[in-house]
Structure 1
Amino acid sequence: MNYQFRKATITEIPQIWAILQKAIKRRKEDGSNQWQDGYPNPEVIQKDIEKEAGFVLTLNEEIIGYTAVMINDEPEYANIIGQWLTNEDFVVFHRVAIDEAHLGKGLSKTILNFIEAFALSNKIYSIKADTNFDNIAMLKIFEKLGYQLCGEVYFRGSARKAFEKVLPQYS
């Protein structure tokens, strides 16, 4: 498969939002309260893209996934209840969503692998992320890919499980 991972453009907001809307609906159908409070929304996607943090996963030019990827850009992580594995620079990602037609193919893991490559290309060896307590799919992915539970962080009044993965350093 010819997957590409690249920065999103403003003109792609409609396709990205369509993917996220279906993901929001799936979270609700799965009994999760994650993403059921008006977040994320098209304005969030636009801000991601404007600060060059919005990324798409494509297959033959078709957008099939979305995430936001930032470096050292999550103020709430300073307030962790628990302890991070490292205190160095880190890559953080939010809003991972896969197009409904491409579910079950391991594409969230594909996105996380691209994020690891992004981190290493920037000489950063820590990836931090969080998810809702009831997002079973993402919790399983974190476990499979070697993320370690570090504690809890809070967003919009709700506790989230906080994870970190330390990447091997090659000199």
Structure 2
Amino acid sequence: MRLVMADEHHLPGMLACIEAARAYFKEKQIPQWQSNHYPGRADLCADIAKKNAYVVIEADQVIATAAIQFTQDPNYDKIDGAWICDGKYAVIHRIAVLPKWKGQQAAALFVAFAKEKGKTIGCKSLRIDTHCQNIAMIRFIEKCGYRYCGVVVVGDGTKRNAYELPL
């Protein structure tokens, strides 16, 4: 498995990962990613254009996708709770892994990369959020060492559990 910055030719594989995650959420009755076609092609194209899109490749196949940004996220300006660290942070959004590859450390590559690059450019922490019913993601986040900080409201007006990992 290797992590690379995504470009347009990765888009079909990225969309396949997102759609697999959307189907999983629907099956588990988790309302995350079930309305407004979010995330969709336009969101992923915007991530690619901003150079925030990353994929994990195995045998020339995209098996996981995520957006990693090393800039402030306005959704994190207000939190019902408190962040651990002040200062510069990196954010991981929209992690999606093909079902066959869940539990195989593909998602962990995104966190490892964000930690390494974040430290290099002076980030004090990594931040992430997820739906309160997304128990699999919450377990993953906590296993990676993130700590629960409170609740943020994301762009569509819904609440998300917010976590931070000091670097």
Alignment gaps of 5+ in structure 2? none
Choose from 25, 28, 31 the match for 2:26: 28
Equivalent AA in structure 1 for residue 20 of structure 2: K
Query: Residue type matched to 1:104 in 2?
Result: G
Q: How far apart in 1 are the matches of 2:47 and 2:136?
A: 24
Q: Supply the AA of the counterpart residue of 1:7.
A: M
CA contact (8 A) 2:63 2:101 kept: yes
113-122 or 39-48, larger mean C-alpha shift: 113-122
| Greater Cα shift, 22-31 or 44-53 | 22-31
Which region of structure 1 is more displaced relative to structure 2, 158-167 or 72-81? 72-81
Question: Who is 2:108 aligned against?
Answer: 109
Q: Deviations over 1:83-104 (max 9, x none)?
A: 1111110000100011222123
Q: How many residues align?
A: 165
Distance in 1 (CA, whole Å) between partners of 2:17 and 2:141 is 21
Q: Secondary structure at the residue paired with 1:129?
A: strand
Indicate the residue corresponding to 2:67 in structure 1. 68
Who is 1:159 aligned against? 159
What is the rounded CA distance, in whole Å, between the counterparts of 1:28 and 1:59 in structure 2? 26
SS in 2 for 1:73: coil
Measure, in 2, the Cα distance between the counterparts of 1:94 and 1:15: 17
Aligned equivalents of 1:121 and 1:99: distance in 2?
Answer: 30
5+ residue gaps, structure 1, are: none
Where do 1:85-164 residues align within 5 Å? 85-155=84-154, 156-164=156-164
Q: Could you give the per-residue CA deviations for residues 118-145 of structure 1, whole angstroms, max 9, x where no partner exists?
A: 2123232300110000010111012112
Moved over 6 A (4+): none
Larger displacement relative to structure 2 (13-22 or 97-106): 97-106
Distance 2:81 2:72 in 1: 19
Measured in 1, the distance between the counterparts of 2:18 and 2:75 equals: 23
Among candidates 8, 27, 32, match of residue 6 of structure 2: 8
TM-score by length of 2: 0.93
User: Residue 28 of structure 1: CA displacement?
Assistant: 1.0
CA–CA distance in 1 between the matches of 2:80 and 2:110?
27
Identify the range of structure 1 (36-45 vs 114-123) with the bigger mean alpha-carbon deviation: 114-123
SS at match of 1:96: strand
Shift of 1:68: 0.2
Question: Mean Cα displacement is larger for which, 32-41 or 111-120?
Answer: 111-120
Displacement of 1:59: 1.9
Q: What is the CA–CA distance in structure 1 between the aligned matches of 2:136 and 2:12, rounded to whole Å? A: 25
Cα RMSD over matched residues?
1.3
